[in-house]
Amino acid sequence: MNRASGHLRRTTDRIADTAIEWLGTDSHAANVLTMARNLLALERAMKTILPSGLADACQVARLEDQRLTVAVPSAAYAARLRQLAPRTVTQLARGGWNLTEIQVKVQASLLQSRMKKPLPKQSIPLDSKGLEAFRSLQENLRPGPLADAVAKLVARHRQT
């Protein structure tokens, strides 16, 4: 970490701390802050209970009248979470959360925000021995799609 990024991080942390302190001074804002902290703590608790793939897809949306609303990106996640809801409520209750029900909402926008960007295509050039082996294979293949594919591969690796 260079000096500039370290200074920026400390400044950002200080601003965040100041904002949180300011939220604590107003009673309405303090209630909002408390609710946000509760939702984050509940989401962390759920992530320890649910299977990792499902846990990563779930986002706690609301806690109201002992009903937890959880947003998921697709119907498949929703179906799986509904299956696990009774067990999850029981385990959360053991952890001190006063819940009676989990309500599941599908929000397709979560899928778009959680999708990873595709990794760049990696191409490892063939060494001379590998290239010679593909040339030999190309000569021994009958004409067809496989021969065409091997010919393209040999041509592409000759250029590099």
Per-residue pLDDT of 112-156, as tens digits, reads 655 566 667 777 778 888 888 888 988 988 999 999 999 998 888
End-to-end CA distance of the chain: 36
Spatial contact of 23 and 29, defined as CB atoms under 8 Å apart: yes
Q: Print the domain residue range for 146.
A: 128-159
Is residue 15 one of the residues assigned to a domain? yes
Is residue 13 one of the residues assigned to a domain? yes
pTM: 0.55
- Average of per-residue pLDDT across 47-55: 91
Rounded to whole angstroms, the Cα distance separating 79 from 108 reads 14
Amino acid at position 119, single letter: L
What does the pLDDT look like over 70-122, one tens digit per residue? 999 999 999 999 999 999 999 999 999 999 999 999 988 776 655 566 667 77
Is residue 68 one of the residues assigned to a domain? yes
Mean pLDDT of the chain: 82
Is the alpha carbon torsion for 80, 81, 85, 91 positive or negative?
positive
